[in-house]
Amino acid sequence: MLIKSLYLENFRLFETKKIELSQEKTLILGENGTGKTSILESLEILFSGKSFRSKNSTDCIKQGRDFFKLDAAGTLFNKELRLSTSKTNTGRISTRRMLATKKLTVSERPLLQTVLAKHLRMIEGEPDLRRDFMNGLMFHVKPEVSKLHNKYNKALSQRNRALRKKLPIDELATWTDQLIDLGMLLSREQYNFFQDFKKYSLVYISKVVASEGLTFLHNTNMHFISGWDTKKTMVKAYQDSLPKDMVLGYTTQGPHRQDFVFSVDKKSASNNLSRGQSKILIILLFLSSYEVLRNLSEGECLLLIDDITSELDEKNINIILKLLAEAKNQVVITAIAGSYIDKISHKLKEFKRINI
């Protein structure tokens, strides 16, 4: 169990709100505009310090008020976990995370995964969605790669700046050399982590496909895309792409363009799965993250899913609810009051129902 209680003050539409979550599974029900997504957003801010709805956390302050405050309490590694975040109209966001009597370290921090409407396009959508998913998991398992990624991005930003300003080749070459050195290290880390992720995720997905009879996901596979032409050395790849980079004003090859794609029975998943089938695969992918963590680290995982019924028929909703009920990590989901899940919520004994 991670989060047991949550308190919101002057956050979005809430003046004050205290919520007692289940130690395992929680279902939050309410009409549109009642604050279901805001509750998930508050958890995101408590763990990461950032909102998935707005770049400016001041937007989260209730209209007419000059601050918001969030608090959460729970248990992690059999120790008391306390999280607190506050923000004023004029000040910076302030966050305090404590595990027992000490500050919660980055390595102790649970993996928070939030599934929003945009993630439902992850299979066929823009690479950023898949890249962010993979990076979030990789950085949690291997925090040192996050530092390497930041160094690479700084060099990338400088090279792109030099390209846009059409600076002399010698100055551009300085940043290109740094980018190549860091890029080789980062690309290797990305590939190695993907292989581990793929192994544990596909084992989980194949078991579910067999047990639930999901024939449309038979022989699901994932394929790594490095983001640069690995048939060449990285030096050669950057040399060959330089004319194009200079015209476009940005770096077109490198591990910052890393991606992965899905296939089902050796066919493109994006071209052969329906929207509902794709959503099931996406949720299976998020659920498989627990297996990745269990095998590669000792971390915990909190899964948040907004509007669970979107684009799923009753049969597929029942499958997803069964899988969520069996998940070994804490899960919080939202649904619209009056939807199918609301009508069967009395049967969902594993879920604590909260009406907003």
For the chain, which residues make up each domain, given as ranges?
1-109+306-356, 111-299
For position 185, what pLDDT does the model report? Answer: 98
> What CATH number was assigned to the domain covering residues 1-109+306-356?
3.40.50.300
Report the relative pairing of strands 330-336 and 301-305 from DSSP bridges.
parallel
Residue 63: partners with Cβ closer than 8 Å, 6 or more residues away: none
The top-scoring range by mean pLDDT among 259-268, 305-314, 340-349 is: 259-268
Query: Cβ atoms within 10 A of the Cβ of 104, count?
Result: 19
Is the pLDDT confidence value at 224 over 90?
A: yes
What distance in Å separates the CA atoms of residue 188 and residue 288, rounded to the nearest whole number? Answer: 23
pLDDT digits (tens, 9 = 90+) for 78-132: 999 999 999 999 999 999 999 999 999 988 889 999 999 899 889 999 999 999 9
Is the pLDDT confidence value at 331 over 70?
A: yes
pLDDT band for 247, please (50, 70, 90 cuts): very high
Q: What's the predicted TM-score (pTM) here? A: 0.92
The edge-to-edge listing of strands for the beta sheet with 267-268 is 220-225, 259-264, 267-268
pLDDT digits (tens, 9 = 90+) for 150-159: 999 999 999 9
Q: 152 versus 297: which is more confidently predicted?
A: 152
Mean pLDDT of 313-331: 89
- % the chain with pLDDT above 70: 100
- % the chain with pLDDT above 90: 83
Is the pLDDT confidence value at 217 over 90?
A: yes
Is 3.40.50.720 the CATH classification of the domain at 111-299?
no
Report the relative pairing of strands 25-30 and 351-355 from DSSP bridges.
parallel
Q: Report the Cα–Cα distance between both ends of the chain, in Å, rounded.
A: 22
Residue 214: partners with Cβ closer than 8 Å, 6 or more residues away: 208, 280, 319
Structure-derived torsion over alpha carbons of residues 35, 40, 46, 49, reported in degrees to the nearest 10:
-90
Retrieve residue 291's tokens. Answer: 């297996």
Is the pLDDT confidence value at 70 over 90?
A: yes
Q: What is the largest CA-CA distance in the chain?
A: 69
Mean pLDDT of 162-181: 94
pLDDT band for 1, please (50, 70, 90 cuts): low
In a 10 Å sphere around its CB, with 0-12 CB exposed, 13-18 middle and 19+ buried, how is residue 15 labelled? exposed
Q: Alpha-carbon Rg of the chain, whole angstroms?
A: 22
- Round the average pLDDT of the chain to a whole number and report it: 93
Mean pLDDT of 135-146: 94
